[in-house]
Structure 1
Amino acid sequence: MNPRYVDAAIDLAYGVLIFVSIVLIVYAGTEIGLAFGFGVLVSYALHVVWKMARFDPDWMTTAVEETVEETVEQTIEETVRKQVEPVREHVETVEKRVDRRPREDEVEELIEDTADGDAHGRSDP
């Protein structure tokens, strides 16, 4: 028997069982239908895991690696952002303070003006 036909038949059988659970919800009561439906869905999930493991044994490893990679990336990004933000704010504050101070050429000009004033006999009160 071709494995693809068997898998298709099993998938179709699960589809029929899900339809049966809907019918049970309508005719036999919600509790019975939901219990049957959840049982079908859980068994289908197990079937899919088994099928994926059979056809692609590395799929679970790859999926876990991708999930861990995304989680670690997000965590690191968030942590770095939280730690860098206060430093950036502090640097901006320092830059503002530095900008308020007179530049070297302004100080030299002021010294020269003061020296010239003293040389000409002027003194500031």
Structure 2
Amino acid sequence: MNPRRIDAIIDLAYGALIFVSVVLIVVEGTRVGLALGLGVLVSYALHVIWKMARFDPEWMTQEVEETVEEAVEQSIGEQVDAVQRQIETVDERIDRRPREDEIEDLLEETVADESVDSGDETGETPR
């Protein structure tokens, strides 16, 4: 038999089962019809995936590669963002620290203040 004919027959059978599930919903009630309908739709989705993989073998590989790439990009992006936030925090801490020239100025002012406070009127540093 021709594989395309078999695929067409299978597709028609799925369509007939979906029609039967709609009829069951109307006649018997929603539980039986919905159960059959959902089962048919899930199996039809699996059939379509199998058919696509059969006619285009690279399709499944490409789908998996795209999914993995997206996951890796998202994960790396989150990690890079976290590292950038840490770097910004460190930069802020460094900016808050006094610089070397500021420390020297503070030391000179402190030494000058101490010499004035010690009672030395000349402003010279005590020996």
TM norm structure 1:
0.66
Partners of 2:41 and 2:53 in 1: CA distance:
18
- The Cα offsets for residues 5-50 of structure 1, whole Å up to 9 and x where unpaired, read as 7645543543343232122112111111012112211221121022
Q: Quick one: which amino acid aligns to residue 78 of structure 1?
A: E
Q: Quick one: which amino acid aligns to residue 31 of structure 2?
A: E
Partners of 2:97 and 2:9 in 1: CA distance:
76
Is the aligned partner of 1:29 residue 2:24? no
Structure 1 residue ranges without an equivalent (≥5): 111-121
Partners of 1:79 and 1:56 in 2: CA distance:
36
Report the equivalent of 1:57. 57
Q: Quick one: which amino acid aligns to residue 47 of structure 2?
A: H
Report the equivalent of 2:114. none
Q: Quick one: which amino acid aligns to residue 86 of structure 1?
A: Q
Partners of 1:42 and 1:9 in 2: CA distance:
18
> Could you say if the C-alpha distance between residues 45 and 2 of structure 1 is closer, same or farther in structure 2, counting changes exceeding 3 Å?
closer
Partners of 2:76 and 2:98 in 1: CA distance:
32
In the TM superposition, what are the counterparts of 1:39-118 in structure 2 within 5 Å? 39-97=39-97, 102=102
Aligned-pair Cα RMSD in Å: 3.4
Partners of 2:22 and 2:98 in 1: CA distance:
73
Structure 2 residue ranges without an equivalent (≥5): 109-121
- CA shift, 1:92, in A, is 2.6
The alignment covers a number of residue pairs equal to 111
TM norm structure 2:
0.65
Partners of 2:3 and 2:38 in 1: CA distance:
30
